[in-house]
Chains A and B, each alone.
Chain A
Amino acid sequence: MIEGTANQNPRYTKYHPKWHRAKIPIFWWIHKLPHIRFIARELTSVAVALYACILLFQILAVADGPEAYARFLAWLKTPFSVFLHAVAFLFVLFHSITWFNLAPKALVVSLGNKRVPPVAIVALNYAAWLILSLAISWILLK
């Protein structure tokens, strides 16, 4: 993954001399679709952390008893919450899809002396995703 190598650039030193370089505007990535996609992928992490927080609040509400939990469920029904969750859902889906599609790059599996084709690894990830999602739905709703 790109992240791990970004600051291992040997040319990057903290106290570099002032050579000339063109200023890069903050929104440099807005002009090209792949760049927007890259930033969107990076920002999925915000949706992931946001939902981890909401989940934590839900657990706190359960711990506080039926009334606190009912109040929390009522908040979940507010238009603001539904909107927030709808947007966050799109981002976490994007995270899952990009994550699984990159899995063969991080996970090179060999059987005997043959490499398992990348498509098979991606397919296995999607299958596992489906099964785990169904299992969690079943446990939560049964």
Chain B
Amino acid sequence: MKKSIEPFWWGLFGAGGTCAAFFIPVLLFLNGLAIPLGWIDAPAFEHVSNLVTHPLTRLFLFVVISLSFFHWAHRFRFTLYDGLQLKHLNLLIAVLTYGSAIVGTLIAAFTLWNI
């Protein structure tokens, strides 16, 4: 991985970390805990469907999902380097982590475009 491209990945890491910090806890809590456990009534399908197909929501979801992937890619890459002492696998790990984030971004873009 060329040094000159590092600030680019770091920028995505930072943007993703900020986005995730603000938005993931509330989305996870409502969708994954409060609604399934019956603490809050599930919104009707119509409402969720209208919400998700709104262009602004699509843009929001795309940004949150994609940047979250890039945030993970960068942080996990360095966790593998430092935590597991895998510095010699530099290129392979970079390709796998950033590659996954790029694939995830493409899937998110395709899904949200066609919904």
How many angstroms between the C-alpha atoms of A42 and B78 in the bound complex? 8
When A26-B85, A132-B22, A141-B43 are in contact, do A77 and B27 touch as well, CB less than 8 Å? no
Residue from B24, B30, B49 within 8 A of A62 (CB atoms): B49
How many angstroms between the C-alpha atoms of A3 and B7 in the bound complex? 11
Contact A99 B18 (CB under 8 A): yes
Residues of A within 8 A of B14 (CB): 1, 106
Residue from A52, A100, A106 within 8 A of B104 (CB atoms): A52
Q: Answer whether residue A7 sits at the interface, using C-beta atoms and an 8 A cutoff.
A: yes
Least CB distance from B92 to A in Å reads 13
Contact B29 A89 (CB under 8 A): yes
Least CB distance from B72 to A in Å reads 3
Q: Answer whether residue A116 sits at the interface, using C-beta atoms and an 8 A cutoff.
A: no
Residue from B36, B85, B108 within 8 A of A81 (CB atoms): B36
Contact A85 B65 (CB under 8 A): no
Contact B28 A52 (CB under 8 A): no
Residues of A within 8 A of B48 (CB): 62, 69, 140
Least CB distance from A89 to B in Å reads 5
Residues of A within 8 A of B85 (CB): 24, 26
How many angstroms between the C-alpha atoms of A137 and B31 in the bound complex? 10
Q: Answer whether residue B21 sits at the interface, using C-beta atoms and an 8 A cutoff.
A: yes
Name the CB-closest residue of A to B65. Answer: A52
Name the CB-closest residue of B to A49. Answer: B72
Chain B residues close to A by CB (< 8 Å):
3, 6-7, 10, 13-14, 16-18, 20-33, 35-37, 40, 42-43, 45, 48-49, 51-52, 61, 64-65, 68-69, 71-76, 78-79, 81-85, 87, 90, 104, 107-108, 111-112, 114-115
